[in-house]
């Protein structure tokens, strides 16, 4: 059992994870709804139910692997690279969407709902479960990035499970009020991924005599600063105008990273793309009663 001082020192980490997992759980719920939106009435409700069950199950399973990830530095580096990949890919996708809007063309519909069109019930369910698995990995790696202590990581993953049920409602209202928070969720997981890379590579790669350790309070302050600046950016036209050229230049290395990481992780996850096709069938109203 952790001592009282350890619990107190872990509070900033736990609060940080509540923020991150709360925002990600909204993204998770919205993605599940979008992926099931093409199905007819009863099939849609059943697919949504399977999606939520899968989200709970995979996050619970992630707890079992938390200690394994904590004790294997190479897994943490891969996980950190994946978190940064998620942020970079999101930035790249937004850049493509903005460029397409400037050109005035509708272009190809790349939305989640469009990508799922034509898939049968079971193919849709499998696609949702694969997404749930991916988000559960994000969950545990983000927790590892925030703390090397297994009990804190397990607490963070467990909070992710609770966030799906209790925190998501609050975060949905916040995102309705501040739509930029949906983007901020990806910035936050990229931020914790970068922290993990710095901590792991400072000693092993750059040969520093003393390992770099960013405290839980410093990580928490960074998260609050990112949240504050995001909301300020969305609410202030002056601040938005000042930051736009900085953000345009600042996103360039992430666009380059997304180009490389999309290829690397695309190769790693390539076999999983064929799993839904094994369940492919034509949607029919009689398929699920």
Number of CB atoms found within 10 A of residue 156's CB:
28
d(CA 119, CA 173): 31
* 1 within domain boundaries: no
Residue 166 region, left (φ>0) first, then alpha (ψ -120 to 50), else beta?
Answer: alpha
This prediction's pTM: 0.73
**Nearest to 86, CA basis, from 54, 126, 134:** 134
Which tokens go with 123? 């193919």
Report pLDDT for 288. 46
Do 33 and 48 contact (CB within 8 A), yes or no? Answer: yes
Our count of domains for the chain comes to 1
* 283 within domain boundaries: no
Consecutive 10-residue runs of the chain (289 residues): their mean pLDDT?
78 80 69 75 83 79 76 78 86 83 58 60 80 74 77 76 68 78 83 82 60 76 90 92 90 92 83 66 48
Per DSSP, the three-state class of 253 is helix
Burial class (CB in 10 A: 0-12, 13-18, 19+), 266: exposed
**Nearest to 153, CA basis, from 163, 143, 162, 145:** 143
Report pLDDT for 242. 92
- CA gyration radius, the chain: 20
* 2 within domain boundaries: no
* 288 within domain boundaries: no
* 152 within domain boundaries: yes
CA dihedral 245, 94, 189, 182 (to 10 degrees): 100
d(CA 193, CA 169): 26
Report pLDDT for 118. 63
* 5 within domain boundaries: no
* 254 within domain boundaries: yes
* 4 within domain boundaries: no
**Nearest to 120, CA basis, from 45, 32, 38, 29:** 38
- One-character DSSP codes across 8-68: HHHHHHHHHHHHHHHHHHHHHHHHHHHHHTTS-HHHHHHHHHHHHHHHHHHHHHHHHHHHH
d(CA 130, CA 58): 10
Do 213 and 48 contact (CB within 8 A), yes or no? Answer: no
3-state DSSP helix/strand/coil % of the chain, to nearest 5 = 80, 0, 20
Domain range for 43? 10-278
Report pLDDT for 64. 77
Number of CB atoms found within 10 A of residue 211's CB:
10
């Amino acid at each position: 059992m952790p001592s009282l001082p350890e619990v107190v020192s872990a509070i900033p980490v736990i609060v940080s994870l509540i923020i991150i997992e709360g925002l990600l759980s909204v993204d998770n719920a919205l993605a599940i709804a979008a992926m099931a939106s093409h199905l007819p009435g009863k099939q849609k409700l059943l697919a949504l139910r399977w999606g939520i069950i899968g989200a709970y199950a995979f996050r619970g399973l992630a707890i079992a692997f938390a200690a394994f990830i904590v004790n294997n530095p190479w897994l943490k580096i891969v996980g950190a690279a994946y978190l940064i990949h998620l942020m970079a890919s999101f930035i790249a996708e937004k850049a493509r969407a903005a460029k397409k809007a400037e050109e005035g063309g509708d272009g190809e519909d790349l939305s989640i709902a469009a990508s799922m069109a034509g898939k049968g019930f079971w193919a849709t369910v499998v696609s949702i479960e694969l997404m749930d698995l991916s988000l559960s990995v994000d969950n545990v790696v983000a927790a590892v990035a925030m703390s090397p202590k297994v009990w804190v990581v397990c607490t963070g993953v467990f909070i992710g499970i609770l966030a799906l049920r209790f925190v998501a409602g609050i975060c949905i209202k916040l995102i309705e009020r501040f739509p930029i928070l949906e983007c901020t969720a990806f910035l936050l997981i990229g931020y914790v991924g970068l922290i993990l890379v710095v901590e792991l590579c400072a000693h092993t790669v750059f040969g520093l005599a003393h390992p770099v350790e960013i405290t839980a309070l410093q990580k928490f302050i960074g998260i609050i600063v990112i949240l504050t600046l995001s909301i300020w950016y969305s609410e202030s036209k002056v601040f938005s105008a000042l930051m736009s050229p900085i953000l345009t230049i600042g996103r360039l290395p992430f666009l380059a990273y997304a180009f490389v990481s999309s290829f690397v992780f695309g190769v790693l996850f390539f076999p999983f793309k064929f799993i839904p096709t094994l369940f492919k069938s034509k949607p029919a109203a009689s398929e699920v009663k």
